[in-house]
Amino acid sequence: MSGRADMSVAAFEVIPAIDLRGGACVRLFQGDFAKETRYSDDPVAVARRWQDLGAPRLHVVDLDGAKAGRPLQSTIVAAIVAAVSIPVEVSGGLRTTSDIESAFGYGADRVQLGSAAVHNIDVVRAALAAHGDAICISVDSRDGHVTTDGWLGATDLPVLEFARRMVASGVARIMATDISRDSTLTGPNFQLLAQLVEELPVPIVASGGVANVADLTRLATIGCEGAIVGKALYEGAIDLPMALAAVGFA
C-alpha cells in the first residue's frame, strides 16, 4: 500500500528542468544525444526566469557528466545554485562520495543518483547515512527496464524490482523517467507511475512526456509528489504560473 495515496493536490510541485550540455540549456529527444534542441546559452538566466515565475524548485542535470560518468559542468551548476533562492536538485555524473559532497558543498538542496545506484550501492548507502532524504534516486527506464550512464546503458533490471530494492536500502524519494516519453510531449507513462505510487511507501516524482496542465493534474491525482517539466515549458505548451495555480501550489 502506498504511503502517498492520500497526498493532496496542494502538495504537488511543478519543477522546471535545466539540462546542461556544453554550457547551454538543452533538451534531448528521448535521451538521444544526437537529437538536441538548444534553448539558451545562459542557463543562469533561465534559472532566474523560472524562479521569477514561481517555480518551487529546479531540477538541474549535467548531461555531459551523466554520459561521461563524472561531473563536467559543476561550475555552471554551482552558479545556478548561487543565483537563485529556491531549492535546486542536481544530477548527472555523480558517482562517488566526493562528487556528492561537492554538490552539497556548493549548495544543492538535493542530490539525485541514478547510475551510482545501479553500479555501486555502497555509495548510495554512504550518501544516505550522511544526507538522508536529501538523496533522491532516479529510476530511468526504457521498455520496463532500468537504464544507466546518461540513458545509454541498458540493464535487465525491471523498474519495480529496482525501485523496491532502493526503498529497502533506505531511499526516501524516487524520480521515475520513462525515456521513451522524454521530450516527446506525448504524456507521461501514467500506468508505470501509478504502479510505483501504489507499491512504494515513498514520494514519487514523475518525469518524461508532460505535455500540458491536464497531465500535471492527473499526476497529482494519482499521488505523485511532483513532476519535472522541460520541453513543454520551453516551447510554451505549459505556462508555469497557470500550471502552479491549476495544481493548487500557487
Whether 19 is catalytic is yes
Find the catalytic residue in 64, 140, 149, 178: 140
User: How many Å is the Cα radius of gyration of the chain?
Assistant: 16
Residues 6 or more apart whose Cβ sits within 8 Å of residue 248: 8, 9, 10, 12, 220
Placement of cell 552558479 in the chain: 79
Amino acid at 248: G
User: Which three cell numbers, joined as nine digits, stand for 64?
Assistant: 555531459
**What are the two backbone dihedrals, phi and then psi, of residue 34, each rounded to the nearest 5 degrees?**
-85, -5
How many Cβ atoms sit within 10 Å of the Cβ of residue 82?
A: 13
3-state secondary structure at position 93: coil
Whether 109 is catalytic is no
Find the catalytic residue in 19, 62, 99, 149: 19
What burial class does residue 68 get, using C-beta atoms within 10 Å of its C-beta: 0-12 exposed, 13-18 middle, 19+ buried?
Answer: middle
Are the C-beta atoms of residues 74 and 106 closer than 8 Å to each other?
A: yes
Residues labelled catalytic: 19, 140
